[in-house]
Amino acid sequence: MSDSATTADDSAASDTQKQTRPSLPLVFADRRRGMPPRHLADLDKDGLQAAVKELGLPAFRANQLARHYYGRLESDTTKMTDLPAAVREKVGADLFPPLLTPIKHLACDDGDTRKTLWKANDGTLLESVLMRYPDRATLCISSQAGCGMACPFCATGQGGLDRNLTTAEIVDQVRSAAADLRDGLVHGGEGRLSNVVFMGMGEPLANYKRVVSAVRKITSPAPDGLGLSQRSVTVSTVGLAPAIRKLADEGLSVTLAVSLHTPDDELRDTLVPVNNRWSVAEVLSAARYYADRTGRRVSIEYAMIKEVNDQPWRADMLGKKLHKALGSRVHVNLIPLNPTPGSEWDASPKDVEREFVRRVIAQGVSCTVRDTRGQEIAAACGQLAAEN
């Protein structure tokens, strides 16, 4: 079966839309209503076989095409030489339409961080970020163009939601990066994509159905997917509690990252407006359910904002609440606030960071400061805005 960026999402996102208080500045409906073209990566196995049959091709071509895309990372039918020349153009138009065109690449960190600005065929802009480390290569991908969560310290959230991405638009960000690494088209020479994080543009769990479908295609072995380990995939959320619980029941073993940013509801109502719907206690309860169901440690993301959420008493409260809710199955990632245009906020001083880490650890919760990448090219957390 195929999906579309413009169809209604399933119950998790529907619950969000229906139950959010009207005063909340959140946008879940797409601004654009154009129908993205069908792509092989939108289809499940039965859907692909049906599509191949519609093209008048024998059934075995479905497996062949899937192996080209997922196994060989190839989306250009002119290079699929085991496909009859007479049908390559037709197959390309029907199952491999151009989804994302790279507009520009920007690099920093001695070339180890590369941000790509993509344009979808309807003109939608989005970004992904590839980061190379000595022992791994991590791709930060977008699940939406823009974001409707309206967090005031995030450039993506301040820009609002443009539309959901299709499953294929999500998966193709990964396929393209994996192909570039394999072919040595990224600084550092040939390599292999090892990790994928849904921490780019958008709230992944507000595009629930397509994100879960994309995760399965990213992690299934060829010819059904790209073959990455589920444990190498991280899905982030600002705290859509029902969707977290739903994800826990999917039978996946991906890492859940919760963007908490403060342990108290009073401040979080402002920093993460969806907290007006699901409180800190509800979010941590859902995270506990995820940890119980999957056996995976939950990651807590915490942007350190000078004199806003970096007080010692908040560190103590954070550690106590996390230890009570999750015990040892939690890790806190402190993220120095990345500057965004026009923001009145700044990152916490290093000595404040260190004291915050010490106090969280003192409560029995592991805590580290995340290595910040990509600030010079607006590729760091909270900076993606897809400006051309």
Which residues participate in the annotated binding site?
Answer: 147, 151, 154, 202-203, 236, 259-261, 338
Residue numbers belonging to the annotated binding site for [4Fe-4S] cluster = 147, 151, 154
3-state secondary structure of 236: strand
Residue of 306, 309, 351, 349 lying closest to 332 (CA atoms): 309
Residue numbers belonging to the annotated binding site for S-adenosyl-L-methionine = 202-203, 236, 259-261, 338
Element (H, E) at 255: strand 255-259
Kindly report the length of the chain: 388
CA 255 to chain centroid, in Å, comes to 12
140 labelled catalytic:
no
108 labelled catalytic:
no
For 299, phi then psi, to 5°, come to -100, 135
Indicate which residue of 127, 140, 169, 367 is catalytic.
127
Indicate which residue of 140, 169, 367, 381 is catalytic.
381
Element (H, E) at 308: none
The encoded tokens of residue 223 equal 């010819």
28: amino acid identity, one letter: F
Please, is 323 exposed, middle or buried when counting C-beta atoms within 10 Å of its C-beta (0-12, 13-18, 19+)? Answer: middle
Residue of 334, 332, 237 lying closest to 290 (CA atoms): 237
Q: Could you tell me whether strands 136-140 and 125-133 are parallel, antiparallel, or unpaired per DSSP bridges?
A: antiparallel
The residues carrying an active-site annotation are 127, 381
